[in-house]
Amino acid sequence: DAKTTQPNSMESNEEEPVHLPCNHSTISGTDYIHWYRQLPSQGPEYVIHGLTSNVNNRMASLAIAEDRKSSTLILHRATLRDAAVYYCTAKAGKLIFGQGTTLQVKP
């Protein structure tokens, strides 16, 4: 299973974009990159996933490096409700979570 590395914590101001990085240098060619977030007292929530191309959905965008060894989750305009732990994972049959990034959003 690919190991992922993320910064422990990041801060952002409300209504500004946030770029959350993830390194997954041991990823294999068939591993999908998944991002989840977990708000306090809730289970993880799916955010986005991709394989090679950049992906957009209503929650976020995912930019995947050409060599697939890193990716960035982009929240276009952070809100206070986006404060959570964000997990980057590489999925190949089973989802193994790394340590995650705790995002603080300041008003």
Partner 1 sequence: DTEVTQTPKHLVMGMTNKKSLKCEQHMGHRAMYWYKQKAKKPPELMFVYSYEKLSINESVPSRFSPECPNSSLLNLHLHALQPEDSALYLCASSQVQGLQSPLHFGNGTRLTVT
CB of 49 to partner 1, least distance (A): 6
* Rounded least distance, CB 76 to partner 1, Å: 20
Q: Which is nearer to partner 1, 93 or 107 (CB)?
A: 93
Contact between residue 7 and residue 102 where contact means Cβ atoms under 8 Å apart: no
Cα–Cα distance, 22 to 62 (Å, whole number):
11
User: Under a CB-based contact definition with an 8 Å cutoff, are residues 88 and 22 in contact?
Assistant: yes
CB of 79 to partner 1, least distance (A): 20
Rounded Cα distance, 49 and 59, in Å: 11
Binding residues (CB under 8 A) for partner 1: these are: 30-32, 34, 36, 41-46, 49, 51, 87, 91-100
